[in-house]
Amino acid sequence: MMRDEVAVVGAGTAGLLAAKRLAELGIETQVYDQKERPGIPVRASGILSISGLETLGIDYRKVVTNTLCGAKLHMGSEVLNVRAPRPIAKVLDRFELNELCYADAQKLGARMITKSKVDGKLLESLNADKFIVGADGAVSVVARHFGFPEIPRHVLTYRAEYDYRLVESDMVELFFDNKMIPGFFGWISPNSKDVAEIGIGIDSASGNSRAAFERFKKVSEIAQIVAGGKIIGEGASIIPIGIRKHFVDDKRGVLLVGDAAGQVKPTTGGGIIFGGNGARYAAQAISACISKGASLEYYERSWRKEFQKEMVLHSFFYNMYASMNSGQLAWMAKVLKFMGFEKFLAQYGDMDRPSLMIKRFLLRGLAK
Ligand SMILES: Cc1cc2nc3c(=O)[nH]c(=O)nc-3n(C[C@H](O)[C@H](O)[C@H](O)COP(=O)(O)OP(=O)(O)OC[C@H]3O[C@@H](n4cnc5c(N)ncnc54)[C@H](O)[C@@H]3O)c2cc1C
């Protein structure tokens, strides 16, 4: 079967970045999405490392709403304060980000087919003569239809934005408490100088994210925002935790990217950098398959070579905090503080690539 065109299913960030990369390589590409515009409604935050952003190949500066220098980690009764000596992350407007990727992909010739919900029947007819890139998110129809292995776990989220000016508008705050927020954490994110986002995620086996959100609103720092600000928007969503055992079907010409593949770091649920890089490798693999008959497995091999060890480390840290009670979390925070880890993390922490920090620790210890 000779295929030379691609149908991308899903116009989220990963699908649009895949379409852009494919169109750049001169490959005929159609993008299908059930929505009218990409990324509506946006029910996710947009905190991305500056180093990771540079790998996405987009002019992200146009859609930055804030710059962050660190994080405050509330662990039981203790707080770890990790403030880096330089900006480490940007907050992006997720709607504007998708609009930007959409415009880029269209400019390069990708064709957008909106208001089109893809089902098994359409997938079969598209797959007759096209590669399929499944970028249809955490609950992927493409993955189910083509029989890919399951994603091991999911986190259910609920978040709301308030017009509220935080005092420290360059720090994100994370709240770990497995009784109130089982299996993940709560957060306050300064989305801009005047907008604060509060949110929670819980393990999908632990009930209702809205109910957990209501519990979280009683925490004093959160209650202050709820009482002092006007709500701008709110909504629930889902985060995949764990990569699929494989995400390429070379025989049928099907590749999963982004949340559909589980390309998300389990510690925080951040997926744009990992899915965006997945989109790049997937486009390269399709191009090599069309021009040289190369195997699509190149995509999965390259992605895993770059990110697998980081994902293993993120999973290790996720399993650790998700299994500790408040007392154990506070004890761990105390030990880390005593050992000087706040300074070490501030100086050498990397929110995407924990291996760099661990390597540094193993080679030089906590010394500067
Ligand atoms: C609360 C929350 C906070 C987050 N915070 C961050 C963060 O700070 N930083 C970060 O990097 N990541 C964050 N993430 C993760 C990030 O949002 C995802 O990794 C990213 O959106 C994945 O992009 P995607 O394109 O793979 O999937 P999606 O964004 O889910 O896009 C999938 C697209 O497919 C379409 N679709 C689905 N099914 C079909 C169908 N059958 N037919 C047609 N179209 C279909 C949908 O309409 C959608 O447009 C967060 C997620 C959540 C839920």
Q: Are residues 133 and 50 in the same domain?
A: yes
In short, whether 10's Cβ falls inside 6 Å of ligand 1 is yes
> Distance between CA 48 and CA 356 in Å, rounded?
17
Six token digits for residue 241: 């935790």
Residue nearest to atom 27 of ligand 1 (CA): 137
Give the model's pLDDT for residue 362.
Answer: 80
Burial of 35 (0-12, 13-18, 19+ CB in 10 A): middle
Range of the domain at 144: 5-68+88-152+244-318
Residue 209 falls inside a structural domain: yes
Instruction: List the one residue out of 256, 252, 251, 236 whose CA is nearest residue 151.
Output: 256
188: number of Cβ within 10 Å: 25
Residue given tokens 């979390």 in the structure block: 329
In short, whether 159's Cβ falls inside 6 Å of ligand 1 is yes
Q: What is the pLDDT of residues 306-329, one digit of tens each?
A: 999 999 999 999 999 999 999 999
Residue 164 falls inside a structural domain: yes
Give the nearest ligand 1 atom to 158 CA. Answer: 1
Q: Are residues 172 and 310 in the same domain?
A: no
Q: Total structural domains in the chain?
A: 2
In short, whether 136's Cβ falls inside 6 Å of ligand 1 is yes
Domain termination residue (choose one: 240, 272, 299): 240
Six token digits for residue 293: 């008959």
Give the model's pLDDT for residue 360.
Answer: 83
In short, whether 264's Cβ falls inside 6 Å of ligand 1 is yes
Q: Residue 155 C-alpha to ligand 1 middle, in angstroms?
A: 13
Domain termination residue (choose one: 208, 240, 272): 240
Residue 333 falls inside a structural domain: no
357, 310 in Cβ contact below 8 A?
A: no
137, 11 in Cβ contact below 8 A?
A: no
Q: Are residues 309 and 276 in the same domain?
A: yes
For ligand 1, mutation pick of 33, 56, 277 (most atoms within 8 Å of CB): 33
Burial of 155 (0-12, 13-18, 19+ CB in 10 A): buried
Which residues, given as ranges, of the chain have pLDDT below 70?
A: 1, 39-41, 366-368
Residue 299 falls inside a structural domain: yes
Give the model's pLDDT for residue 366.
Answer: 61
Instruction: List the one residue out of 42, 83, 80 whose CA is nearest residue 185.
Output: 80
CATH number of the domain encompassing residue 212: 3.30.9.10
Q: Are residues 224 and 120 in the same domain?
A: no
> Distance between CA 313 and CA 316 in Å, rounded?
5
> Distance between CA 232 and CA 222 in Å, rounded?
15
Residue nearest to atom 38 of ligand 1 (CA): 136
Q: Are residues 160 and 102 in the same domain?
A: no
Residue 362 falls inside a structural domain: no
Q: Residue 45 C-alpha to ligand 1 middle, in angstroms?
A: 10
Q: Residue 367 C-alpha to ligand 1 middle, in angstroms?
A: 40
Residue 181 falls inside a structural domain: yes
Q: pTM of this prediction?
A: 0.96
Give the nearest ligand 1 atom to 258 CA. Answer: 26
Give the model's pLDDT for residue 197.
Answer: 96
Q: Which amino acid is at 228?
A: G
Residue 344 falls inside a structural domain: no
For ligand 1, mutation pick of 32, 45, 91, 161 (most atoms within 8 Å of CB): 45
Q: Are residues 163 and 201 in the same domain?
A: yes
Q: Are residues 63 and 195 in the same domain?
A: no
Q: Are residues 105 and 235 in the same domain?
A: no
Give the nearest ligand 1 atom to 45 CA. Answer: 5
Domain termination residue (choose one: 297, 318, 339): 318
Q: Are residues 14 and 55 in the same domain?
A: yes
Q: Are residues 267 and 292 in the same domain?
A: yes
For ligand 1, mutation pick of 34, 133, 191 (most atoms within 8 Å of CB): 34
Residue 74 falls inside a structural domain: no
64, 90 in Cβ contact below 8 A?
A: yes
Q: Are residues 117 and 132 in the same domain?
A: yes
Which residues, 6+ apart, have CB-to-CB distance to 265 below 8 Å?
271, 274, 310, 311, 314, 352
In short, whether 199's Cβ falls inside 6 Å of ligand 1 is yes
Residue given tokens 């990963």 in the structure block: 14
Which residues, 6+ apart, have CB-to-CB distance to 362 below 8 Å?
none
Q: Are residues 94 and 184 in the same domain?
A: no
CATH number of the domain encompassing residue 120: 3.50.50.60
Burial of 36 (0-12, 13-18, 19+ CB in 10 A): exposed
Give the model's pLDDT for residue 367.
Answer: 61
